[in-house]
Amino acid sequence: MSPQDIELFAALARARAGLKVDPGKTYLLESRLNPLARREGFAGIPEMAAALRSQRDEKLIWAVVEALAQGETAFFRDRAPFTTFQRELLPTLARLRGQEPIRIWSCACASGQEAYSLAMIAEQGEGLPPGTKVEIYGSDLSERLLEKAQSGLYTQFEVQRGLPIRQLLAHFEKVEDNWRLTPRIRQRVRWRRVNLISDLTVMGRFDVIFCRNVLSAMEPPYRRRVLESLAALLPADGLLMLGAGEAAETITTAFRPVTGRPGLYVRNPAHRAAAA
């Protein structure tokens, strides 16, 4: 890939989705863009870059951005955030909200494993009073990944990374060589395409937002914008779960960390007061 082509793709990813593209990782760029170039009928990446320069093809631009945004994911990835969610956050919220639905958002869910992991926890209902309502939303920038998420169909390889075997037997059906989540779990999640640097107020209020390993893939100026947009969707006791190693407090005062729970943040009321 030429430096000019890399800069073109990086500029598109930055402008459209706030994504950070490391120009040194050409192998990664090529592995993501080569399949797209072939799918779109180009001989290779240089030809696709030339087409992008010669005409403003919005569909192709977004296809490039989505390809560059593709994230790594797994069921119950990193485990600890899900344990915290199951044992502490969900039971506490159930007590506080009563009959009101608890709204959870997996805001960059890629092919859906995080949202479905949360749905499996909600379905198990451990420590939840009868009648607790949990609404789970999954969103991503990529239409292609959302289609896969909606299908609920995963390969044998995907269901063996992070998913305990008893959960697999309880919540999946075998379909030839793949595994599909049961309709009961699939119906628990609502899906929507969302660009996190766009206006998020249309999403409504949430009690917990999972935004793990998203900020680290964004350009620094956009990280603050996204965090403050997410803070505006949370009530005073709303919670944000970031990825391990992502520190909201170094980006904005909108959140403060929860002691002893890495990655977990609560909205900082002082921030909104200061903004007002």
Partner 1 sequence: MKTCLVVDDSRVIRKVARRILEDLGFEIAEAADGMEALAWCRAAMPDAILLDWNMPLMNGIDFLRQLRLEPGGDHPKVVFCSVETDPERIREALDAGATEYIMKPFDGDIIEAKFAEAGVL
Enumerate binding residues for partner 1 (CB under 8 A): 74, 79, 156-157, 160-162, 164-166, 168-169, 174, 177
Q: Which is nearer to partner 1, 77 or 103 (CB)?
A: 77
- In angstroms and rounded to an integer, the radius of gyration of the C-alpha atoms of the chain is 20
Taking the least distance from each CB to partner 1, the nearer of 73 and 132 is: 73
Which whole-number Å values give the CA distances from 9 to 6, 17, 65, in the listed order?
5, 12, 8
Residue with tokens 């040194």: 24
Nearer to partner 1 among residue 257 and residue 262 (C-beta)? 262
Q: How far apart are CA 70 and CA 93, in angstroms?
A: 32
CB-nearer residue toward partner 1: 164 or 235: 164
Q: Minimum distance from CB of 86 to partner 1 (Å)?
A: 15
* Residue 131 to residues 104, 134, 204, 237, Cα–Cα distance (Å): 17, 10, 22, 21
Closest CA to 230 of 259, 179, 194: 194
Helices (H) and strands (E) in the chain, counts: 12, 10
Residue 241 Cβ, how far from partner 1 at the closest point, in Å?
A: 20
Which residue, 79 or 190, is less far from partner 1 as judged by CB? Answer: 79
Task: Provide φ and ψ at 258, rounded to 5°.
Answer: -90, 120
Shorter beta-carbon distance to partner 1: residue 165 or 276? 165
| Nearest distance, CB of residue 165 and partner 1, angstroms | 4
Closest approach, Cβ 158 to partner 1, in A, equals 10
Q: At what angle do helices 58-69 and 45-54 cross, to 10 degrees?
A: 140
Tokens 């955030």 label which residue? 81
